């Protein structure tokens, strides 16, 4: 059993009870070549969303590999088909990061609509300012329309929080939400984009969602609208977003994820109408530990011949 990253003790302990655990040689995420070297001969790999699990890595691991346990809900870093062909189970960590990611989405939504980052920068820069009736006005949320792209667990958790701020919520998704989901209007994507004051992305990255928010989508949004992305960077065409902000096609964007992480499009960095955080959606002590423990339980279950708690199907 190989870990691509050192894990919290609770997760390591759980794994050590069922397997010989090989810790990564260095205390940082591994490069691709380092990971290929590390994984040779492993029967299980517990890995990060930064680790590309493709044919090359699976070849490097060898035919005894039985499970890839990704410590993330998103698994666009894993070639699931290539794993399936080799009989390797893939697991992810849904559920345990829902609240943390929804909380950060609201933090970004509030931050961009109320100009929190901009105000912070103004004070730190020592620029002169004074309270005034029209000083640094933002956009109120009560009665504003929130359009959620994707209405899974995280989208629904955002909907619940947004309702507490008085927002009207709609969503675009392939299927209508199941019973028990917070009430929200199900709309075609085009209608959602055109009618929302804030568009927030909660879909996985797939070939179908790559650049879902492109120049045409941005052009179709309201001029006063904001875009929030806590899903995956490549769902948004960043160059098109910069152009849309430049042209005043939307009012602002709050981004936690980027097309080419850790790089951030230079056109976004200097803009006051953009709020940026470095992929912090699940970044709480409690959530990261829960993710690592769930990944460990998944790996341990497969090695023990049992169905893992959260398999990728």
- Beta carbon of residue 211, minimum distance to ligand DGY (angstroms, whole number): 18
In the three-class reduction of DSSP (H, G, I as helix; E, B as strand; rest coil), residue 70 is classed as strand
User: Of the ranges 30-38, 112-120, 183-191, 276-284, which one interacts with ligand DGY (CB under 6 A)?
Assistant: 276-284
Side by side, the strands of the sheet bearing 185-186 are 185-186, 168-172, 145-149, 198-201, 226-229, 252-255, 274-276
Report the distance separating Cα 277 and Cα 228, nearest Å. 11
User: Of the ranges 8-16, 17-25, 26-34, 71-79, which one interacts with ligand DGY (CB under 6 A)?
Assistant: 71-79
Rule CB under 6 A: say whether 49 interacts with ligand DGY: yes
Rule CB under 6 A: say whether 282 interacts with ligand DGY: yes
Q: Which of residues 81-100 bind ligand DGY (CB under 6 A)?
A: 97
DSSP state of 79: -
Nearer to ligand DGY, 195 or 281 (CB): 281
Rule CB under 6 A: say whether 72 interacts with ligand DGY: yes
Exposed e or buried b per residue across 258-268, where buried means at least 16 C-beta atoms within 10 angstroms of its C-beta: bbeeeebbeeb
Residue 84 — φ and ψ, nearest 5°?
-60, -45
* Residues annotated as catalytic (active site), given as ranges: 232, 261, 279
Residue 44 — φ and ψ, nearest 5°?
-150, 145
Are the C-beta atoms of 40 and 53 separated by less than 8 Å? no
Rule CB under 6 A: say whether 74 interacts with ligand DGY: yes
Q: Site size for ligand DGY, by CB under 6 A?
A: 8
Give how far Cα 232 sits from Cα of 134, 158, 259, Å: 36, 16, 8
Q: Which of 117, 155, 234, 281 binds ligand DGY (CB under 6 A)?
A: 281
User: Of the ranges 2-10, 11-19, 279-287, 300-308, which one interacts with ligand DGY (CB under 6 A)?
Assistant: 279-287
Nearer to ligand DGY, 57 or 153 (CB): 153
Nearer to ligand DGY, 145 or 279 (CB): 279
Q: Where are the beta strands (DSSP E) in 154-225?
A: 168-172, 185-186, 198-201
Residue 262: is the preceding peptide bond cis (ω within 30°)?
Answer: yes
Are the C-beta atoms of 40 and 63 separated by less than 8 Å? no
In 3D space, the residue among 312, 105, 131, 70 whose CA is nearest the CA of residue 227 turns out to be 105
Structure tokens at 199: 């568009």
Nearer to ligand DGY, 113 or 282 (CB): 282
Q: Which of 19, 69, 73, 154 binds ligand DGY (CB under 6 A)?
A: 73
User: Of the ranges 29-37, 193-201, 216-224, 275-283, which one interacts with ligand DGY (CB under 6 A)?
Assistant: 275-283
- Beta carbon of residue 203, minimum distance to ligand DGY (angstroms, whole number): 12
User: Of the ranges 119-127, 131-139, 146-154, 278-286, which one interacts with ligand DGY (CB under 6 A)?
Assistant: 278-286
Report the distance separating Cα 266 and Cα 272, nearest Å. 13
In 3D space, the residue among 24, 12, 69, 76 whose CA is nearest the CA of residue 50 turns out to be 76
- Beta carbon of residue 237, minimum distance to ligand DGY (angstroms, whole number): 19
- Beta carbon of residue 144, minimum distance to ligand DGY (angstroms, whole number): 26
Nearer to ligand DGY, 19 or 200 (CB): 200
Nearer to ligand DGY, 235 or 302 (CB): 235
Q: Give residues in contact with ligand DGY (CB under 6 A).
A: 49, 72-74, 97, 279, 281-282
């Amino acid at each position: 059993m190989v870990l691509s990253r050192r894990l919290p003790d609770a997760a390591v302990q759980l794994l050590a009870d069922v397997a010989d655990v090989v810790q990564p040689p260095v205390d940082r995420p591994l490069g691709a070549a380092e990971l290929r070297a590390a994984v040779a001969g492993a029967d299980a790999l517990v890995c990060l969303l930064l680790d590309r699990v493709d044919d090359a890595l699976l070849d490097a691991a060898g035919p005894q590999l039985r499970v890839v346990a990704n410590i993330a809900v998103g698994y666009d870093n894993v070639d699931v088909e290539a794993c399936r062909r080799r009989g390797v189970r893939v697991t992810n960590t849904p559920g345990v990061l829902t609240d943390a990611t929804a909380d950060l989405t609201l933090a970004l939504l509030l931050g961009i609509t109320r100009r929190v980052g901009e105000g912070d920068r103004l004070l730190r820069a020592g620029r002169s300012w004074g309270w005034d009736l029209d000083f640094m006005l933002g956009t109120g949320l009560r009665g504003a329309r929130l359009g959620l792209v994707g209405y899974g667990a995280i989208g629904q958790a955002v909907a619940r929080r947004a309702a507490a701020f008085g927002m009207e919520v709609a969503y675009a998704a392939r299927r209508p939400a199941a019973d028990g989901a917070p009430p929200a209007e199900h709309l075609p994507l085009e209608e959602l984009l055109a009618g929302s004051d804030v568009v927030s992305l909660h879909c996985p990255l797939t070939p179908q969602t790559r650049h879902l928010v492109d120049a045409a989508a941005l052009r179709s949004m309201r001029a006063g609208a904001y875009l929030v992305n806590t899903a995956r960077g490549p769902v948004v065409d960043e160059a098109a977003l910069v152009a849309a902000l430049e042209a005043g096609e939307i009012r602002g964007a709050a981004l936690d994820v980027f097309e080419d992480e850790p790089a951030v499009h230079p056109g976004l960095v200097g803009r006051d109408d953009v709020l940026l955080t470095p992929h912090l959606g699940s970044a709480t002590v409690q959530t990261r530990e829960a993710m690592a423990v769930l990944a460990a339980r998944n790996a341990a279950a497969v090695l023990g011949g049992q169905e893992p708690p959260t398999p990728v199907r």
